[in-house]
Amino acid sequence: MSRSERSPLLLAGLLAAAGVAHFASPRQFDETIPRALPGAPRTWTYASGAAELALAAGIALPRTRKPAALAAAAFFVGVFPANVKMAVDWRHRPTPQKAAAIGRLPLQLPLVLWARSVAKNGEAGK
């Protein structure tokens, strides 16, 4: 299997793992939900996890890969405020945790670009 064939599956795996984590350990995600959002943080945590699972399934299937990957790119942009909130909230934590929270911020751009690349190549799998 070539790198271009593995890339969508790896992205789908990343999204699936994150989605499962939202249901397996929701409290840690609840804390990152911006307070400006209406409703309970747990609702947003579960909705985000469900979205990640749906995106993973869509990317895994060649027929739906392109639109799902474009949606994943938008999703990565959409969750950026939660990552910023986490970095701000964790600024007084021990250095390793603070570094992890801050380190997540620049990782959003490669995730967006990766999803766009999968979308661009998505039709090749048809």
pLDDT band at 126 (very low <50, low <70, confident <90, very high): very low
Residue in 71, 57, 86, 82 with CA at minimum distance from that of residue 116: 71
pLDDT tens-digit map of 10-51: 999 999 999 999 999 999 899 889 888 999 999 999 999 999
Residue in 116, 56, 50, 104 with CA at minimum distance from that of residue 80: 104
Helix boundaries (H) for the chain:
3-24, 26-30, 41-60, 65-78, 80-89, 95-121
pTM: 0.88
CA distance 59 to 5: 12
Q: Bigger pLDDT: 104 or 74?
A: 74
pLDDT tens-digit map of 52-79: 999 999 999 999 999 999 999 999 999 9
Query: According to the model, what pLDDT value does residue 123 have?
Result: 59
